[in-house]
Each structure stands twice: as C-alpha cells, then as structure tokens.
Amino acid sequence: MDVSFHRMTAAQLAAGLKKKAFSAQELCRAAIERIEALDPQINAVVVRDFERAHTEARLADEALARGEQKALTGIPMTVKESFDLRGHATTWGFPVHSEHVAREDALAVQRLKAAGAVILGKTNVPPALGDWQSANPIYGRTNNPHDLTRSPGGSSGGSAAAIAMGFSALEMGSDIGGSIRVPAAFCGVYGHKSSHGLLPMGGHTAGGSRVAPQLLSVIGPLARSAQDLAIALDVVAGPDAESPASKVVLPLPRHGRLGSFRVFVLNHHPVARADGNILGALEALADHLTREGAAVARQSSLLPDLNVQWKTYQTILHTIISRGDPSVTRPPISAHDWLDALDMQLRIRRQWADFFRHFDIVLCPAFGTPAFPHTDEADWRKRPLDMDGEPGNFGSQLGWAGIATVANLPSTAIPLGLSKTGLPVAVQAIGPFLEDKTAIAFAGMVGHEIAPPALAM
C-alpha cells in the first residue's frame, strides 16, 4: 500500500490509475484500512458500504483493463449522510428515521457512480442538517482532525473531516447556511456551494420524504484541490427530471491568470464579525492579489445592501427550517409575506448580476473565526464564540454564509493555511450566478495546498 494515497487529489489518483501505477482495488483497500485505523478518533464515516465498494473497485479495474476510464473511475469517495445510498438509512440525524432503507441512490450519487466513483459510505451530520457542529443521537459526535476538542463544522462536518484525514478523495455535501463552506474552512479543505438549481437534489431528504424543491439549499463537492471540485461539478451538474431543462453548459472561467481578476474584498458586515485570524488572512490574500496585478476594491456603490440581504435571508431560511418543527412557537409568516420575500430575493439577484458586470469575485470570510470548541449548548443565543478574546454572536455568523445563499450564487471555500495556534483559516470566493467555474478556478489560483492534520500524516 502506498501511504501517499491519502494525500493525493482525485485528479492525481486518476492519472496514476491511467498509468497503471496502482489499481482501483488498491485504492479501495487503502482507504478502508485508513478509515478503520483512524476514524475511531474522528467519527467521520458513520455509514460504511465497504463490501459494495470492493465490488465497485473490482469492476473499475476491469473497465480500466479494457481502456475505459471515465472522470472518476476507481476514485474512492464518500457522501454526506443526508444523501440516499441504496440499502442504507437516510436519517439526517433523527432516530425516527433509523429504520428507513433507501431503495435507490440519490440522483447525485447515481451520477457519481456512473462516472466510475467507488462510494465507501456516508459521513456524519447534525440533526436536520441544522448546526455548525456534526453530532447526533444516532452516530455521535465528529471531531475536527486538527484539534479533537473542536468542531469540524456542519452540517457537512463529517464530509470535510473525511477529506482532511484522507479517508476519501472526494465528497458530496450540501449547503443552506454555510454547510459546505464552514466545514471546509474549519478542516482546511476546499468546498464549493454551487449555484442554486445547478446540481440535482433528488434523493436528498430525510427518511425518503418527498418535498417541494427548496429555494436556498444546494449540494456541492468537497475535495483536496480546486481542480477536483471542477471535476465533480462536471459529473453531477444538470437538473433532475422534474426541472424544465435537463442539460446545462457552464461558462468557462472568466480569466486564466490572477492579474486579470477584478476582486471586491468584503471585510465587514452589518451583523457578522470576523476575528484577527480571518481578517488577517483575507488582507494578506488581498495584498497578494494586488502584487499579481489584479484590480482589488473595497468599496462600490453597486454592492447590494447587506442588511436587506440579511433580513431577506433570515425570513426565507427560518420559514424553510421551521416547517414541521414542533419546537417552533412563532407563527409562520403569511403567504403574502412569503411572496414579498421572494420578490426581494429576485431584486437582490438582479443587483448582484449588475455588480458582477464590473467585478469577477467577492472575497469575504466563510465564518468569522477558526473552528470553535465543541459545545452542548443548543440555544445559539447562549453559545459562546471567542472573537479575539471578546464574546461574539454565534447566530449572526450566518451573515457571511447568507450573502451567496440568498442570491443563489456559487461560492468556494479556499484554505489559506493555519493560524498561529494550528487551526485552519480560510475565506470564500463568491462568483456570478452559474459561473461556478470562475469561483473554483480563482480558488485554485490562490488557495494553499491543504495542510494535513498531524493525525493524518
């Protein structure tokens, strides 16, 4: 077994498979051995499908022997627990769904498998995918690989931890409130929140329920390189059969060199703060971009009103997540208020479309601090959050995530190394609607090689 497998990107593994430097079955065995040896400390891969993975790896080797190599042939992957994986429960962290058995794979999983991916299993989440931690009554708590006393983020916390530890080469998560970007930032890996409607949501519901499409939630990949994000995006992109269109052709990145980008640096928000670790990394990146010749701005009359965005995002998000929740005592908004919120969302989207005629990327925090310590406090209003030695507002950190989410925009979490205390620091690059490849390409040009946790060496 080559011990370097766990540090290689999916693209590097694909190149090695093509050259027959190793086999898909070797990769599969190495990944499973690594999970069995190291995951007890992390608890990331909570649903294991190893027997089927061995079979898929054998079939991948047979395809490779015939000269048939697709984008992900033989690449070991995991997916978030919230996706249907045939023969396993899709609980979203709720014990009531423990007996559910998915009859087929989620559509995104089907597309990954059709591209040759070897699915090892599923990774941990918080209940209802509603936290920046990943702990639930069924599978327990997932730890941050860089510091076991801290959160790996959520709700795709198991996803990011699995990538950071080298348990899998690629992962599929989901995001409505930073659920891809925050875990990627906390664990020091790449993560991409896709443009709304670009990737299919079929088979991404709790207990196999059938619900109307959500107006904010998306799925997207996490990986060890930006290049891998683009590969996964190409494999999965395209609406499901219930959408009016069945194919999509994504625009190529706007630029091929950093010096050509027009970048807006957003280091403030009306409700969300960021600490010195994050703002320092953001400013260092802005300085680097300037030296490379990029046009960097910090003020523009075209920037949509962030306070209006925050209020609109909160209205839509709370309506979505409180639906059917018996613990919510506040009455639901009226249908007219709901439609008013959707009208405002459309105005926000149009404002961003105008903004991106003059800029290519918005850089801002994904979360205002590095990974925070585990907490059992359920009430976000009471949760501690250290901001440079002062108490911060935990819930208001949704402000950073909501910028891209309410406007349906793509955003890529970019790892920028480690803080002085050894915790990953990161920012997010927000791009124009459906120009996911611009955000991903930019991330690849400025992002650092991911720093492997000591546990993962």
Catalytic residue numbers read 80, 155, 179
- Sheet order of strands, 295-297 included: 45-48, 118-123, 76-80, 170-175, 218-223, 190-193, 411-418, 424-430, 361-364, 262-265, 295-297
Pairing of strands 386-387, 390-391: antiparallel
Report the alpha-carbon angle 92-93-98, nearest 5: 90
d(CA 412, CA 88): 30
Q: Which residues pair with 293 in a beta bridge?
A: none
Collect all residues with Cβ–Cβ distance below 8 Å to 147 and sequence separation of at least 6: 371, 422, 423
Report the alpha-carbon angle 91-97-101, nearest 5: 85
Scan for tokens 């930073």, then name that residue.
178
Pairing of strands 262-265, 361-364: parallel
Three-state secondary structure call for residue 425: strand
CA 196 to chain centre: 13
Smallest Cα–Cα separation from 47: which of 141, 139, 156? 139
- Cβ count within 10 A of residue 24: 26
Backbone φ and ψ for 424, nearest 5 degrees, come out as -60, 145
Query: What amino acid is encoded at 79 in this protein?
Result: V
